[in-house]
């Protein structure tokens, strides 16, 4: 990861910044940290999920890795691998693909865990806390290394585990019960 030399004192300052590139940055303690590109496996899994959700909610409501979420804590923003937004987000995101703290949270965020202990802790612990704090109703952790999909559902402002899905087990989504997908089919999408 490379660091840009610009310092920001507020999230609004950061949002007005444009370095003229398509790079994604996390704002950490006022500094920009470039987000590295996703692995091919992660992109394949996220793209497969995008194709599963489009028939359920429509193309406009399924957002891939470029959607930015403003969060509390450090870093101040996250880029989920896949996000299902609300209908009212569509016009709000026309100018910038960022869901602010002042907006309603998305319905679902999905993270595909990258190899490494740091990445695992980020998806299982740090992002879980930040997404829970935002009030995102459902959070999936797709982990190709252990071949599992964890579905978390927000109940009384705390994530509760719906299940850990592996092999032939059908993934149960409280928000999207009509989804018909097994863990094995999803995890094989990365190969």
Three-state secondary structure of 98-122: EECCCCCCCCEEEEECCCCHHHHHH
Model-level pTM? 0.93
182 & 88 share domain: yes
Residue 23 is part of which domain span? Answer: 1-36
Q: Give the pLDDT confidence score for residue 2 in this predicted structure.
A: 52
Residue 117 and residue 43 share a domain: yes
Q: Are residues 174 and 130 in the same domain?
A: yes
Q: What per-residue confidence (pLDDT) applies to 53? A: 98
Task: Answer yes or no: do 9 and 92 share one domain.
Answer: no
Task: Output the domain CATH number for residue 123.
Answer: 3.90.1570.10
Residue 126 confidence (pLDDT): 96
20 and 99 part of one domain = no
The reply to whether omega before 67 is within 30° of 0 (cis) is: no
Distance, C-alpha 30 to centroid of its chain: 22
Domain count, the chain: 2
Neighbours of 168 (CB within 10 A): 9
pLDDT number for residue 62: 98
Residues of the chain predicted below pLDDT 70: 1-5
Note the pLDDT of residue 4.
Answer: 46
In what side-by-side order are the strands of the sheet with 77-78? Answer: 77-78, 68-70, 98-99
d(CA 151, CA 130): 16
Residue 132: in which H helix or E strand, if any?
helix 127-134
- CA dist., res. 85 & res. 105, Å (int): 8
């Amino acid at each position: 990861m490379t660091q840009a030399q610009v310092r920001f004192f507020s999230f609004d300052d950061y949002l007005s910044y444009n370095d003229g590139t398509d790079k994604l940055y996390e704002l950490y303690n006022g500094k920009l940290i470039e987000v590295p590109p996703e692995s091919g496996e992660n992109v394949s899994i996220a793209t497969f999920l995008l194709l599963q959700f489009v028939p359920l909610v429509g193309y406009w409501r399924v957002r891939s890795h470029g959607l930015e979420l403003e969060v509390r804590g450090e870093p101040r923003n996250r880029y989920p691998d896949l996000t299902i937004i609300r209908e009212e987000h569509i016009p709000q995101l026309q100018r910038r693909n960022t869901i602010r703290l002042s907006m309603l949270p998305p319905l679902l965020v999905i993270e595909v865990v990258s190899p490494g202990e740091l990445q695992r802790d980020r998806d299982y612990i740090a992002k879980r806390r930040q997404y829970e704090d935002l009030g995102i109703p459902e959070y999936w952790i797709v982990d190709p290394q252990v071949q599992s999909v964890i579905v978390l559902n927000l109940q009384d402002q705390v994530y509760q585990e719906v299940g850990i899905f592996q092999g032939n087990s059908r993934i149960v989504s409280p928000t999207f019960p009509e989804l018909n997908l097994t863990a094995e089919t999803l995890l094989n999408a990365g190969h």
